[in-house]
Amino acid sequence: MSSPATSSDREKVVSKLPGWLRQNLKIRAAQHGIEIQAAVEQGINAWCSLASTTATVDTAGADSFSTFLPPGQWDEFRQVVADRRVSLIQGLAQAVQLWLDSNPAPDVERPEATRRIVVCNQKGGVGKTAITAGLGEALAEDPNTLHSVRVAKALAKALRASDDQSGSEPASDPLDIESLPGLGLRVLLVDFDPQCHLTNQLGGAPLPMDGDSLTNHMAGSPKGEIRDLIIPVDDDTFGGRLHLLPACNDAFLLDVRLSAVRAREAALERALAPLEADYDVILVDCPPSLGLSMDAAAYYGRRRDGENPGQSGALIVVQAEDSSADAYELLTNQIDDLRSDLQVDIDYLGIVVNLYDSRRGFIATSSLQGWVDIKDPRVVGLIGDLKEQKEAVRMKQPLLSYAPKSQQAIGMRALAREIA
C-alpha cells in the first residue's frame, strides 16, 4: 500500500477509487488551484476528525488510484477505517467526497463591467475571424470540465526559439501543457464584417438584406430589437454561454450611412449597449477597413470611466510576413489619431501572430522576431498554420468543438488566459 518517502517528504499510497469520483476530484482541485495530493490529505484529516462515518459512497467499478501523503497519515487512516468497520476503499471514497462537499466549485470570476475586445487589422486574410471565434470559444468553455492549455512559459519558449523550429507549429514539451477548468464566461461574438465570414464559419446564416441588422441599429433605423438577431453557438459544447450576432451584406454600405449619423464614432456602442448586461465579454470581428466603421469599432473598445487598463481595447492579428507589418502601421496610426482627436484611451491588448509556419524559412522566422521586438504592445498569442482550423471552417463548426485537443485549440485557450 505504500512506498518509501518521496523527495518532497511524502509517501506514495495506492488504493482504489471509482472513476467518476477521481474525475470530480481532479476537476475540483484544479478549480481551487491546489494539487490532488493536498486535497486528499485535507479530506482524510477531516474524515478522521468526524465522530462517525458519513453516507456510503458507491464504489462500484473502483480501480487503482495513487497519491502522495505526509508520512504516517496513511497508517493512521487505515486504523480509523478499521475502527469504523468500513473497507479501505469506502473510507477513502468518503474522505474524498467529504472534501468535495466542503469545497464546492467556485463561482466563475466575472468582470465588473462587460469587456469589449475589438479584433482588428486593416489587412485581410490574416485570420481575424478565426482568432475572434477561437478566443470567444476559449472564454466560454465549461468551467466544470478540464481542457488542455499551453501555459505562458511555452509561448515564451516558442518565441525565443522561433528560428530553431522545424515544424509548422512551435514545439511543446508535454510539461508545458496543463489541464485547467474552462473560464465559463458569457460571450457575444459580433460579426462586423460585410463579408460574413464569422457567421458562415460558425454555421450561421447571414441576415437578409430586407430585414433588420446591426447596420440598421448603428444608422438609427432599427426594424426591431437587436437581441432578436442573436443566435446561440453550439449549445452542447458551450452550455448556452456563446452567442453570435450575425452579419448582413448591408454592412458594405455602413460607412455611407454613418456619414449622416451624429456622433458616428459612438454608433456601434449605441447599438450594442442594450446587450452588454447579458455578457461578460463582447468580441467584435472587424472588417479589413480603415473607414468610419473601424473608427466606431475602436471607439467601442475605448477605456470607459472606472474601467481598468487592459480590460477592453484592440487585439491586433498579424502574420509573420512583411505586408502585415505595413497594415499594422496603418491601423495603429488610425487608432492613435482617434485617441488624439477624441481625447480617449484605447488600449492595445496585444498582438496575435496567426498562421505561423517556421518551415517558410527566414521570412517567417525573422518577421516573428520583428513582432516580438515591438514589446509594446507585446505578442500575446502564437497560433500555427495547421489543418484543424481549415477543417472546422469547412465543417462550419467551432474549432474547440471540432478539434478540442488540437494544438490550435490549446493555443486559443492560452491566448484567452493571456488577456483575461
All three cell numbers of 393: 471552417
Q: What is the mean pLDDT of residues 340-369?
A: 91
Q: What's the pLDDT score for residue 169?
A: 47
Q: What's the pLDDT score for residue 158?
A: 59
- Beta strands 2-5; 11-17: pairing state: antiparallel
Q: What is the mean pLDDT of residues 229-246?
A: 95
List C-alpha distances in Å: 121 to 39, 41, 64, 294. Answer: 46, 51, 52, 10
Q: Are residues 170 and 242 in the same domain?
A: yes
Domain closes at, from 43, 78, 102: 102
What is the chain's alpha carbon radius of gyration, rounded to the nearest angstrom?
A: 25
The CATH number of residue 246's host domain is 3.40.50.300
Domain around 207: 115-419
Q: Are residues 32 and 163 in the same domain?
A: no
Q: What is the mean pLDDT of residues 93-104?
A: 97
Q: Is it the case that residue 306 has pLDDT exceeding 50?
A: yes
Q: Are residues 84 and 126 in the same domain?
A: no
Q: What is the mean pLDDT of residues 98-125?
A: 94
Q: What's the pLDDT score for residue 289?
A: 83
The string of DSSP codes covering 179-196 is EEE-----EEEEE--TT-
Q: What's the pLDDT score for residue 125?
A: 85
- Arithmetic mean of pLDDT over the chain: 91
Q: Is it the case that residue 276 has pLDDT exceeding 90?
A: yes
Instruction: HSE, CB side, 13 Å, CA atoms: give it for residue 217.
Output: 23
Residues 6+ apart with CB under 8 A from 193: 129, 247, 251, 285, 286, 287, 288
For residue 381, the cross-strand partners are 352
The verdict on residue 109 lying in a domain is no
Domain closes at, from 78, 102, 126: 102
Q: What is the mean pLDDT of residues 277-284?
A: 98
DSSP state of 117: E
For residue 352, the cross-strand partners are 317, 381
Q: What's the pLDDT score for residue 8?
A: 64
Q: Residue 284: name the closest of 90, 115, 403, 152 by CA.
A: 115
Convert the pLDDT of each residue in 185-204 to its tens digit.
Answer: 999 999 999 999 999 999 99
User: Positive or negative, the Cα torsion across 89, 92, 94, 100?
Assistant: negative
Q: Residue 154: name the closest of 134, 138, 135, 177 by CA.
A: 177
Q: What is the mean pLDDT of residues 356-372?
A: 87
Q: Are residues 124 and 96 in the same domain?
A: no
Q: Are residues 69 and 192 in the same domain?
A: no
Q: Residue 57: name the closest of 8, 22, 103 by CA.
A: 22
Convert the pLDDT of each residue in 133-162 to its tens digit.
Answer: 999 999 999 999 999 998 765 566 656 655
The verdict on residue 110 lying in a domain is no
pTM of the model: 0.89
Distance separating alpha carbons of residues 291 and 296, to the nearest angstrom: 9
Q: What is the mean pLDDT of residues 345-355?
A: 96
All three cell numbers of 228: 432578436
Q: What's the pLDDT score for residue 362?
A: 86
Q: What's the pLDDT score for residue 174?
A: 44
Least confident of 154-158, 162-166, 323-327, 364-368: 162-166
First CA to last CA distance, the chain? 43
Q: What's the pLDDT score for residue 29?
A: 96
Q: Are residues 130 and 43 in the same domain?
A: no
Grade residue 117 by pLDDT with cuts at 50, 70 and 90.
very high
Q: Are residues 126 and 97 in the same domain?
A: no
The verdict on residue 108 lying in a domain is no
How many H-runs (helices) and E-runs (strands) does the chain carry?
A: 17, 13
Q: Are residues 223 and 352 in the same domain?
A: yes
Q: Are residues 10 and 149 in the same domain?
A: no
Q: What's the pLDDT score for residue 235?
A: 86
Percent of the chain at pLDDT above 70?
Answer: 92
What is the count of structural domains for the chain?
A: 2
All three cell numbers of 138: 476559449
Q: What's the pLDDT score for residue 342?
A: 93
Q: Are residues 185 and 146 in the same domain?
A: yes
- What angle, rounded to 10 degrees, do the helices at 407-419 and 387-395 form? 90
Q: Is it the case that residue 58 has pLDDT exceeding 80?
A: yes
Task: Tell me how far the alpha carbon of residue 265 is from its chain's centroid.
Answer: 29
The CATH number of residue 76's host domain is 1.10.1220
Distance separating alpha carbons of residues 230 and 207, to the nearest angstrom: 10
The verdict on residue 318 lying in a domain is yes
Domain closes at, from 73, 102, 131: 102
